[in-house]
Each structure stands twice: as structure tokens, then as C-alpha cells.
Amino acid sequence: MRIRYKKWARPELEASKFYEDNPEEWKSRWKEHFKERENPIHLELGCGKGQFISNLAVQKEKVNYIAIDLVDAMLGLAKRNIENTYKEAKKEPNNIIITRFDIERINLILDKKDEIERIYINFCNPWPKGKHRKKRLTHNRQLEKYKQFLKPQAEIYFKTDDNDLFEASIKYLEEENFEIEKKTYNLHEEPIFEANIETEHEKMFTEQGIKIKACIAKLKE
């Protein structure tokens, strides 16, 4: 999603207690970044405006969350959404960190010592052209990178509106030693998540009559 430059985003992010501007410095020790260090860590790749992660994290206080995006304007909106969501719940955002980084280089900021237990990938770019498919966040090349910091039996929660991307992603996951535990071609009719939190894209696609595809994949021992 393209978004206009927002001059307020960078100053607000730099002033935020839950924004990390130097994620490389925390590689191997992300647990230390959170108030409750013993909580499991879950990761969202491409958090966008933060609607999903803010609503998830405020409900799951015993999980720590890292949300990554590459665009300051997006992260600025995510920061405001997180603040508003936690304020409405009368809570402090102690279990969430947002950071700006290129997901293709994610192994520069995470490794096995970080013990990531779950990844959320919601409505990522489908990159339909053959020469661009390696850029998919679910492609084999990316999955190999994730395996460098995932715990054994860690999970990937994936949602998309794109049929071709979904079918290809199932194949990529199986090729990379992930077991497909659950999958659906119509998430709203066949729920597979304990509680589905809709993203902005999900609401838009659903209103257009597009069925949401989703799966839960677990990394084998």
C-alpha cells in the first residue's frame, strides 16, 4: 500500500517509548527489550497502519509483540493506533515494539536466541510476476530466513485475498518443513483462528465480496 509522506511521523516515532530505531542492536536479546521478559515473542511482518497488531497485543498481555514495516508514515499511523487502542483499554503498551526495517534483511535483527514463537503475515504483496515472486514474504527464500530465528514448532499465521499467492504459499511452506495444520478458502465462513482480528485490507476485500484465504503452518521438529 502506498501512503503519502507524513512529516510528523519521524519525530513522533523517535519520541515513542515503544518504537525502536536501531533494531540491529537488539539481535539475540529482544527479550530484554520488554517489561515481562519471560513472555513469548510473536512477530508481525508488514504491520501497516497497526490496526491488527494493536488490537491483538492489547488483548494478549502475556505475549510480547514486535511489528515491522519499512515506511515511516505507516509506522507513524501504527504508533497512533496503538496509543489509542491501549488508551481506550486503560492499559500501557508494555508488550509491543514497532520498528522500521527491510524484511528481506530480517536476519540482521533476529536469530535463534530471540526464540520467536509465531509470525503473522497479513495481506502481503502477492508479487504476481514470475521474476518478482522471490520477494513474496512466504517464498522459500524468506522462509529459510525465518527458520533461523523461529523456535521448534513455531507457527506462521497467514491471510490473503489472492488465490495464486495462497496456493503457492501452501507449497512453499510444505517444501520448507512446515506442516499445514489448518487452512481455509473462506475464513469468515470457516474460521480457523481462535479469534480473528480483521485488518483494514480484510474489511475492504470482504466488502468487495472477495473470500479471505488463511492458514496456520507449524515448523516441524
Instruction: Convert the pLDDT of each residue in 6-34 to its tens digit.
Output: 788 999 999 999 999 999 999 999 999 99
Residue 4 lies in a domain: no
Number of domains in the chain: 1
In terms of C-beta density within 10 A (0-12 exposed, 13-18 middle, 19 or more buried), how is residue 8 classed? exposed
In this structure, is residue 182 part of a structural domain?
yes
CB atoms closer than 10 angstroms to residue 147? 14
Q: What is the pLDDT of residues 32-76, one digit of tens each?
A: 999 999 999 999 999 999 999 999 999 999 999 999 999 999 999
Is position 3 within any domain? no
- Distance separating the N- and C-terminal Cα atoms of the chain: 36
CATH number at residue 64: 3.40.50.150
Question: Does any domain span residue 110?
Answer: yes
Range of the domain at 113: 9-219
Q: What is the pLDDT of residues 178-192, one digit of tens each?
A: 999 999 999 999 999
Domain assignment present for residue 66? The answer is yes
Q: Is 142 part of a structural domain of the chain?
A: yes
Residue 150 inside a domain? The answer is yes
Is 1 within a domain?
A: no
